[in-house]
Structure 1
Amino acid sequence: MLLALFIAGVGGLYLMVRGYAQQTADTAYDQLLRASALSIADSLQLVDDEWRMDMPYAALALLEQAPRDRAFYQVRAGDGALVSGYPDLPAPPTDGASDDAASSQLFKARYQDQPVRFAWMERKIAGPAGTRSARVLVGQTSEARDALAARVLWRGTLALLGFTAAALALAWWGLRRSLAPIRRIERELAARGASDLQPIKAPVPEELDTLVHTLDGFMARLAENLDTLRLFIAEAAHQLRTPLAALHAQMEVALDEEDPAEQRRSLLAVLRNAEKLSRLVNQLLSDASVIHRSNVRQFQPLDLSELLDQAVYDSVPQAEPAPDVRLALPVDGAPAPALGDSLMLREAFKNLIDNALRHGAAPDGHIDVRLERDGARWRVTVSDQGPGIPPALAHAAFERFVRGPNPRSAGAGLGLSIVRRAVDSHHGELQLSNRVGGGLDAVILLPALPHES
């Protein structure tokens, strides 16, 4: 686009130079024509009421400055009678007449199949019978003026070509200098390995600071995601290796047992290990899904009441015997609008409820799940009647594969870490606090959307 604009600009300058060259040549030779016409007009005299003229040599000398051109002149009286010169010269246009006797007019016409430039003027003299007038017409072919215009145009074109070449060279040099920092960044990135996501070290000008800073931030986030993925793979492999080995060993023991009772006990152990392994795999998949969706962050409007109801429905039937879970939603079935990822939030609610069912459900107690408005946020509270959480584990409980010192049931230690990642992705808060008299309150605070009018 810049090149097209530059070419258009150069074309416009060429047209300006051509117009200036023609104007310069016309101005120079028109002055000669005017001077020659004035010289002839000054030589006219009125004698006995008749016009007399002695052709001045100065008028011819002026026109001889263009030796290759032909010159013509004509002098006519006011009544049209020819005084001197060529009788068949074209008459000047009638709309170009002037009342000023000292002024001359110019026009173009063809004469003897050649373009001719004419200058004409009137000469007025007061005589015995009144004021008499005569018209002086001087013409010249345009070969010399065209040659002068061509010379001026050629020199102007040479200057324009020199300017164009200098401008292109300057632009090429400026672009190379401007793009040099980008080429340095390109070479540095091309020389890196696939796992090298360190900040860019190549020096860049001030104009590229924001771009490089943004690129460094992107690589830092990518490195963090890759580290998380590598850690996840390593921990998943470590966590799956033990139950798989135990499951294999228990299956061998069951196959070797001949006593049906002992074989049944071995198969029950296999079943418990399989359930534990199934729960571990499900939580690992849930953790991986939450990690992925937290990086993508494609949030949409949703109803927290509906998500919380689904989470309770999905979590409660998995516990045996069926516990007493009490769900309290906003009154009158009013929606709880928020902006987020429904899968991540549903997994967070399910893990929080499942955590309360596994570690906080008392034999005769109940679990409360409440959703209520708290200013500009929604508060989701899951309350149990278990032993609570030791103060020493208040922060470590959110780490992956971390469990309490005396777990009441089998688990993978991923539940709270999944909840924490999902809540952080939604710019919310997760709070754990022990209740007076026993139990734990797990609170999630999420930004609310205003109700639609």
Structure 2
Amino acid sequence: MWSKMRLPELARWSIRRKLLWVTGLLLLIVSLLAVRAAQSYAQRSAQLSYDRLLNGAALQIAEQISLRHGKLVADLPRAAFETLALAPDDRVYYRIGGPGGEHITGYADLPRPPARQGEERVLDSSGGTAGDGFRTQVFDADYRGEAVRFLVLERLLTETDFSGFVQIQVGQTVLARTALADDIGLRALQLIALLFGVALLLVSVGIWMTLRPLERLNRALSTRSSVDLSPLDVAVPREISKLVGTINHFMQQLGGTLDGLQRFTSEAAHQIRTPLAGLRSQAQNALDEDDASLRRRQLGRVLESADRLTDTVNQLLNQAVLAHRLRSQQMQPVALDTLVLELCRELALPALEQGVELGFEGDSEVWVQGNAFALRQMVQNILENAIRYSDPGSEVRIELHQSAGHVSLAVADAGPGIPDAEKPLVFERFYRSPGNSRTGSGLGLAIAKEVASYHRATLKLSDNQPAGLVVTVRFHRRSVP
């Protein structure tokens, strides 16, 4: 429940804050592990140091035990206790026992060592092994209400009439070794805390230096004008240069779109303003005309101008919708044969009204990867142009074929055709041949060319025999699923 409530807040954190939190948490975890390791090391070091003192004292005592007249005699060396006196606040306990648990001297009630888990050689004061006749064992116990560290050393004595182990047990309270472990641990903690602070400072500086190019990029974007779409020229690291390149590419595309929109708006305004002016002039003439037959002809021209204006506005709206669809929708598999057949059925009646027949011949199951709305607009514009410019009694042939390499759609009419010099020009918006007397907006082939380019298809114009025009659209194999 808490995580669900906190996630939206965490998502709003800045990158700097997130990086500081993550690196700080990692440094804290590493520091805690280092503190734990330092404390363990401090305890082992203090334990080993004072265990060596106990071991040295026990060896010195063991070396002074001898057999006299069949009895064990212990001459306690002063140096052994002076060694243990290096920890002045600690108390020292000792006991010397003979074979069979015989008590020779010292504290008789010292705790006995636990069951031996193994044997180990000890080191003498010179650093060498004490010999095969020694065994040691170290353990902790409570004695007289205090924690005491005990070392038990057993020495094998062998004489003519005596053979057995002599046990020397030396104990020392743990005040000095605890203080030493705490001192080592405190110094390690201070060093780790210092390293933690230095590392966190260095990480903060590194994060600031890493994010600084993003701040420069932000300032470069925030300070420029809303109409300034020139490429950004900001010195950034290689990783951020990809982002800058993407922004520059986006602004280049946006600039091209805005320039195209401006040109299109200017051309559209001109194309609409001209028929509107003619429409008003013709209507005014019809209003002022007294001759009924002449007024009727003028009103007919008004209707023709209105139809041409309606066609132009519809084409402009279709192109606006088409541009939006091409930028907002992804390509999907489209059954091109089904789409062409549906358009042929829809346009069959308008074609018959003009005395033109439609004939379709093609393959079935023809699929292309594309935008269904855009492909429909392209094919519809090509078919409507073919019907409009065909002579009554002629036929418009539509052929659709596919092969391993491409899909080809060809529309052939028997109209006047287009001169070779004008074929490249008809793809420009609002272009109309000077000798063309038929109505039209001049946008049909321009839209078809735009849709074909979007689908990476080629659109070609060629002469039909004996007369007319053939419009061929070829989709490459990579467009076919």
Aligned residues: 448
The residue number in structure 2 matching 1:77 is 98
1:168 alignment partner, SS class: helix
Distance 1:180 1:395 in 2: 52
**Structure 1, unpaired ranges of 5+:** none
The residue number in structure 1 matching 2:62 is 41
In the alignment, which of 27, 32, 37 is matched to residue 11 of structure 1?
32
The residue number in structure 2 matching 1:346 is 376
> Could you tell which deviates more after superposition, 371-380 or 96-105?
96-105
In the alignment, which of 300, 304, 307 is matched to residue 336 of structure 2?
304
Q: Cα gap change, 1:314/1:107 in structure 2, threshold over 3 Å: closer, same or farther?
A: same
Is 1:399–2:413 an aligned residue pair?
no
2:436 alignment partner, SS class: coil
> Superposition pairs for residues 398-437 of structure 1, below 5 Å?
398-437=427-466
Distance 1:50 1:450 in 2: 110
AA matched with 1:78: P
Contact 1:377–1:445 (CA under 8 A) maintained in structure 2: yes
Is 1:127–2:159 an aligned residue pair?
yes
Distance 1:379 1:143 in 2: 97
> Superposition pairs for residues 148-167 of structure 1, below 5 Å?
148-167=180-199
1:79 alignment partner, SS class: helix
Q: Cα gap change, 1:428/1:297 in structure 2, threshold over 3 Å: closer, same or farther?
A: farther
Distance 1:310 1:63 in 2: 108
Q: Cα gap change, 1:114/1:238 in structure 2, threshold over 3 Å: closer, same or farther?
A: farther
CA deviation map 1:67-114 (0-9, x unaligned):
111111122222112211112221111124538543422111222222
CA deviation map 1:351-378 (0-9, x unaligned):
111111223x133321111100143211
Is 1:386–2:415 an aligned residue pair?
yes
The residue number in structure 2 matching 1:177 is 209
Residue 297 of structure 1 deviates from its aligned partner by 4.5
AA matched with 2:251: M
Contact 2:354–2:392 (CA under 8 A) maintained in structure 1: no
Residue 269 of structure 1 deviates from its aligned partner by 3.0
The residue number in structure 1 matching 2:250 is 218
The residue number in structure 1 matching 2:50 is 29
Distance 1:140 1:248 in 2: 120
Contact 1:49–1:128 (CA under 8 A) maintained in structure 2: no
The residue number in structure 1 matching 2:359 is 326
2:154 alignment partner, SS class: strand
Distance 2:26 2:312 in 1: 65
Distance 2:462 2:23 in 1: 65
Distance 2:139 2:201 in 1: 45
Distance 1:394 1:450 in 2: 26
1:199 alignment partner, SS class: coil
Distance 2:327 2:228 in 1: 20
The residue number in structure 2 matching 1:68 is 89
CA deviation map 1:26-79 (0-9, x unaligned):
121111111111112222222233321111111101111111111111222221
Distance 2:267 2:93 in 1: 108
> Could you tell which deviates more after superposition, 258-267 or 350-359?
258-267
CA deviation map 1:299-324 (0-9, x unaligned):
11110001111222333434432411
Is 1:442–2:471 an aligned residue pair?
yes
Distance 1:64 1:155 in 2: 25
Contact 1:119–1:138 (CA under 8 A) maintained in structure 2: yes
Residue 266 of structure 1 deviates from its aligned partner by 4.2
Contact 2:381–2:444 (CA under 8 A) maintained in structure 1: yes
Residue 290 of structure 1 deviates from its aligned partner by 2.0
The residue number in structure 1 matching 2:146 is 114
Contact 2:46–2:181 (CA under 8 A) maintained in structure 1: yes
Residue 253 of structure 1 deviates from its aligned partner by 4.7
RMSD: 2.2
Contact 1:294–1:421 (CA under 8 A) maintained in structure 2: no
Q: Cα gap change, 1:322/1:89 in structure 2, threshold over 3 Å: closer, same or farther?
A: farther
CA deviation map 1:214-256 (0-9, x unaligned):
2211211122122222222222222222223333444455555
The residue number in structure 1 matching 2:220 is 188
Contact 1:339–1:448 (CA under 8 A) maintained in structure 2: no
The residue number in structure 2 matching 1:362 is 391
> Superposition pairs for residues 73-112 of structure 1, below 5 Å?
73-96=94-117, 98=119, 101-112=133-144
Residue 115 of structure 1 deviates from its aligned partner by 1.9
1:400 alignment partner, SS class: coil
The residue number in structure 2 matching 1:280 is 312
1:104 alignment partner, SS class: strand
CA deviation map 1:280-309 (0-9, x unaligned):
111111111222222235111110001111
**What TM-score do you get using the length of structure 1 for normalisation?**
0.92
Distance 2:274 2:410 in 1: 35
**Structure 2, unpaired ranges of 5+:** 1-21, 121-131
AA matched with 1:400: R
The residue number in structure 1 matching 2:15 is none
AA matched with 1:283: Q
The residue number in structure 2 matching 1:230 is 262
Distance 2:478 2:234 in 1: 45
Q: Cα gap change, 1:77/1:321 in structure 2, threshold over 3 Å: closer, same or farther?
A: same
> Superposition pairs for residues 234-245 of structure 1, below 5 Å?
234-245=266-277
2:333 alignment partner, SS class: strand
Distance 2:216 2:179 in 1: 55
Is 1:292–2:327 an aligned residue pair?
no
The residue number in structure 1 matching 2:238 is 206
Residue 209 of structure 1 deviates from its aligned partner by 2.6
Contact 2:286–2:295 (CA under 8 A) maintained in structure 1: yes
